[in-house]
Amino acid sequence: MFNTLLVKPLFNLLAIIYAYLPGHDFGVAIIILTIIIRLILWPVVTKQLHSQRAMQQLQPELARIKAEAKGDRALESKLTMELYKEKEINPLGSLLPLLIQLPIFIALYAVLRDLVKPGEIEHLAYPAVKNLAPIAAIIASNSPFHPQLFGVIDLAKPSPILAVLAGVFQFIQTKQLAPKNAVKDASAQVTAAMTYAFPFVTFILGLTFPAALTLYWTTSSAVAVLQQTIVLRRDARELAVIEEAIVLDAPTPAKLNSPKKKKAKKK
């Protein structure tokens, strides 16, 4: 079922990109596939980013709740959940893009695991894809396929260069979302630790996984950094406009002494 719903479609999309790509560079095909996946997930990730920005804006309220609870964890948790409900924020919303990408990552791992085995490409490819000249040539050779990036990096083996890039982009991606003025509680400490731990884990895994997976993760993180920059800047501009409107609409001595106010007083 997993193969039918995810592995085969993912392989065939990758094979089509590879077949029609000038130069037939498998690494570039993975980059294009990753960008397509990120574009499909763009609305989901954008919603997640809005939720995270809203969580950051709630930091003063969370600080007030912490002070009000006075160490009562049950009360603090109850008030916090009530605040989330009032503001219509799902604290677990940030996990959705990760949960969606995890099966894709596993499916891509399965694709790359079988790609180097003679005969597996023919097994995975749809009939129409088998007839594409570059794919037909690989099948006809009946020998292991060696995917490469720019003809230099063997994507079937780990690549330290891509592992470093994956860690760097993962750090930037995580750092962008770190609250600037977060309440200093256990949750904030975990978030701060993950800012450095997650990129390090990404780097270590990049040294063990086939470079094709690391390339996928690197590209995905790079696109995520771009998306977060666009969405967070737009949110910041919208928030600035709202705050300016609130300030302009606030009562001032001039407004209170306006003719309309005086007429109202005479009546």
Task: Give yes or no for a contact between 232 and 53, defined as CB atoms under 8 angstroms apart.
Answer: yes
- Cα 232 off chain centre by: 13
In angstroms and rounded to an integer, the radius of gyration of the C-alpha atoms of the chain is 26
Classify residue 145 as left (phi > 0), alpha (psi -120 to 50) or beta: beta
- Cα 42 off chain centre by: 9
Q: How does DSSP classify residue 153?
A: E
End-to-end CA distance of the chain: 77
What pLDDT is recorded for position 218? 92
Angstrom distance (rounded) from CA 225 to CA 219: 10
Residue 201 clears pLDDT 80, i.e. is over it: yes
* pLDDT tens figures, 36-65: 988 888 887 777 776 666 666 677 777 787
Q: Return the biggest CA–CA distance within the chain.
A: 97
The pTM assigned to this predicted structure is 0.72
* pLDDT tens figures, 99-151: 777 888 788 778 777 776 667 788 888 889 888 888 888 888 766 677 888 88
Percent helix, strand and coil across the chain, each to the nearest 5:
75, 0, 20
If you count DSSP H runs as helices and E runs as strands, how many of each does the chain have, helices first?
Answer: 15, 2
Average pLDDT, stretch 206-215? 88
Q: What is the chain's length?
A: 267
Both structure tokens of 241:
């406009």
State the chain's mean pLDDT as an integer: 76
Residue 243 clears pLDDT 80, i.e. is over it: no
Tell me which H or E stretch contains 169.
Answer: helix 160-176
Both structure tokens of 212:
């094709």
- How many C-beta neighbours within 10 Å does residue 227 have? 18
Residue 89 clears pLDDT 60, i.e. is over it: yes
Task: Give yes or no for a contact between 153 and 159, defined as CB atoms under 8 angstroms apart.
Answer: yes
